[in-house]
Chains A and B, each alone.
Chain A
Amino acid sequence: MTDSPPTWPADIHAALKALGVRHVPCVPDAGHARLIELCRNDDEMRVVPLTTEEEGVAMLAGSWLGGRRGVLLMQSSGIGNCVNMFSTVRVGRYPLLTLIAMRGQWGEANPWQMPMGRNAAAILELSGFQVLGLDDAGMAAETVSAGGRTAFEANEMVAVLVSQRLIGSKAFAPTEDG
C-alpha cells in the first residue's frame, strides 16, 4: 500500500459536477475536507459556509426556486440541527441531496459523537429521506450519481451516508498515553 490520497473525494466531485450541482452549502467536517477543497477550486461551484446546517436546507430550497441545483455537506451531528427545516423540503417536494460524513461509527473514540451517529439513518428516514450508505470507495461516484438523479428528477430527499470506515476514524491521543 502506498500513502497516496484516496480518489473518492475527486470521484464525488466529478459526480456532483455531472449532476449540474452549483451551490455547495456546508458546515465543515474533516471527512469532507478534500471534497470541500475541490468544490472551492471549481469555478462553477459556490461553496457557502454556514453557521448551522439548517441554513443549508433552507438555502437549497431557495436555490431550487431559482433553478439551481445544490448539495449540502455536513457531518452526522448536523442532522440534528436540521430536523424542522426538513419539513419545508418535504411538504414542498423540493429536491434535497445531502452528503453526510458519518461519526459515531467504525472506531469512534469520541463518546459525544455516538448518539447522533447511531440515530442518523433513523432520523433521516423519519424525516422522509431515501438513505444510501457509502462504505466502499469504489462506489462513491455511482452512489452520488444515483442519489442525485432521484433527488433532482424525482423531487426526493436523498442522503448519502459516507461511512467512517471510508473516511477513517479520528485519533485523539497516542495509545501509550492511555
Chain B
Amino acid sequence: MRDPNRANRYPLRRRQVVEHLVTDMDDLLVVAGLGAPTWDATAAGDRDLTCPLWGAMGGTAMIGLGLALARPDRRVLVVTGDGDMLMGLGSLATVALQRPANLSVVVLDNERYGETGMQATHTAGPTDLAAVAHACGFEQAATLHDEEELDRATPAILEGEGPLFFAVKVRAEAPPLVLPPRDGAHLKDRFRMALIGTE
C-alpha cells in the first residue's frame, strides 16, 4: 500500500535543494515555476537572471525551452513543482524532440499542490514523472531521494549534456514566503538587461 503521507518524511528540504543548485552559479539562467518554487528561488537570492513566475501554470518548462534555444551558450535551469509539471506534461515531449543540450528540468516533487492547501497531486499516487520524461525521450531522467543522490546528480544538472530531467522528492512543507517583485514586465526587463544589455 502506498502511504499518502510519505512525503511528510522525505529527507530533502526544498529550500536547501534550490540553494544548493543556484548559489554562486552567477551565469546560470533560472526559470522558477509559480508558487513555492518561485519563493524557493527567491530565498536563494533575488537575482536578475532568474525569471520567477507568479502564474503561467503548466508553462515553466516551455519558457525554459525558448530560453535554452535562444541561448545555447548558457545553461538553463527550470525549477518547478510537480503540480506545474503535471499541467504541462506534453511539454516534456516537445522539449525532448528539440534536444536542447543546455536545459535541465528539476521538479521539486512534494507530491502536493502546496500553494493551494497541500492537496495530493498525482505523484502521491501512481504517477512517476521521471518515467514520463524518459518515455517522452529524455535520455537522462531520474528521481532523487536524498542528499547523496542529489550530490551525485549535481554536476549533470549544472553542466551535463541535456535535456536532463530530475524529479527531486522533497518534504511536504511550507517554508516562509520569500517574495520576488510582482511586476512581470519589470522581471522580464531586468532579466534581458542582465543577459543581453537591452530591455
Contact = CB atoms under 8 A, between A and B. Distances in A.
A116 B67 CA distance: 31
A66 B59 contact: no
A67 B70 contact: yes
Contacts of B188: 61, 64-65, 92-94
Contacts of B59: 54-55, 57-58, 61, 85, 88
Interface residues of B, number: 35
B196 A58 contact: no
Interface in B161-199: 184-185, 187-188, 191-192, 195-196
A92 B90 contact: no
B67 A62 contact: yes
Contacts of B57: 84
Interface in A34-54: 46, 48-52, 54
A170 interface: no
Chain B's interface: helix, strand, loop or mixed, by majority? helix
A62 B94 contact: no
Contacts of B64: 62
Q: Which of A56, A59, A61, A91 has the most CB of B within 10 A?
A: A59
B71 interface: yes
Interface stretch (B5-13, B48-56, B107-115): B48-56
Contacts of B195: 65-67
A52 B62 CA distance: 11
Q: Which of A50, A51, A57, A58 has the most CB of B within 10 A?
A: A58
B106 interface: no
A62 B184 contact: no
B91 interface: yes
Given A23-B69, A55-B90, A93 B184 contact: yes
Given A49-B97, A91-B55, A92-B187, A68 B69 contact: yes
Contacts of A64: 66, 70, 188, 192
A52 B67 contact: no
Contacts of A52: 90
Interface of B: 29, 31, 51, 53, 55-60, 62-71, 88, 90-91, 93-94, 97-98, 184-185, 187-188, 191-192, 195-196
Interface of A: 23, 46, 48-52, 54-68, 70, 84-85, 87-88, 91-94
The 7 closest A-B pairs by CB, nearest first: A62-B66, A66-B70, A58-B59, A51-B90, A92-B184, A58-B62, A63-B66
Given A59-B63, A67-B70, A87-B56, 9 more contacts: A23-B70, A51-B90, A54-B58, A58-B56, A61-B66, A62-B70, A63-B66, A67-B192, A85-B59
5 contacts: A48-B65, A51-B93, A62-B70, A65-B195, A66-B29
